[in-house]
Structure 1
Amino acid sequence: MFLAMAKKTFVQLVDDFSGDSISDGEGRTVRFAFDGAEYEIDLSNEHVEEFSNVLERYVRASRRVSGRRKTGGASAARNGGNSETAAIREWAESQGIKVASRGRISADIVEQYRNR
């Protein structure tokens, strides 16, 4: 007779700020980005609230530049372009701003177009 053995693995979330263990439902992983780098930090509910409060005034004064990142699929450039990109190029040329007919458009030009 052969007896199979079972293996159980438990994951314990630890608050990266305090080092304390976090019980189920008492914390979460927070994702954020700063200076082009993305980060994750595991925080208790108390520290999530503190983190949110610190960032809140900066977020209110900020401009959101994009939604969540898309995963998979082809980019707009590989799919033959984007109508907004064409409109930005046309607008830039009408304003006397030099912009290449292909490739990435600088963020400064895109911002000028959107704030016109």
Structure 2
Amino acid sequence: MPGRVALIACESGGDPRFADALGLTSATLHAGAGLVTAIRWPLPTDHALALAGADPAARPLQEAIRAIDTAHESEDPVRALAGWQRERLTAWRRERTIEHAPLVWGAFTTTTG
């Protein structure tokens, strides 16, 4: 198991329908990962966001995936991901457009073992 794992799949970071809401994350940590980034709810695709009115050139989900990958490559992935999320929060407060909404960037959580 790699030391840092990103589970970029809908609700990979929690499913309240089961007794262990962090099942996949816990399993990954128990298999040897030291850090797991996962998603707490289903995410819209970039296409779905465009249909909802986002700038057609915007790629919020792709940007999020790249930000997580970059964070996992950094010395302090938690700090790097939190910094990116704060940048997204600033953009959301400034722009108030769907491509900056916390619907995507707020979904990610990182757990350490």
TM-score (norm 2): 0.24
More strand by share: 1
**Higher helix fraction (1 or 2):** 2
Calculate the TM-score normalised by the size of structure 1.
0.23
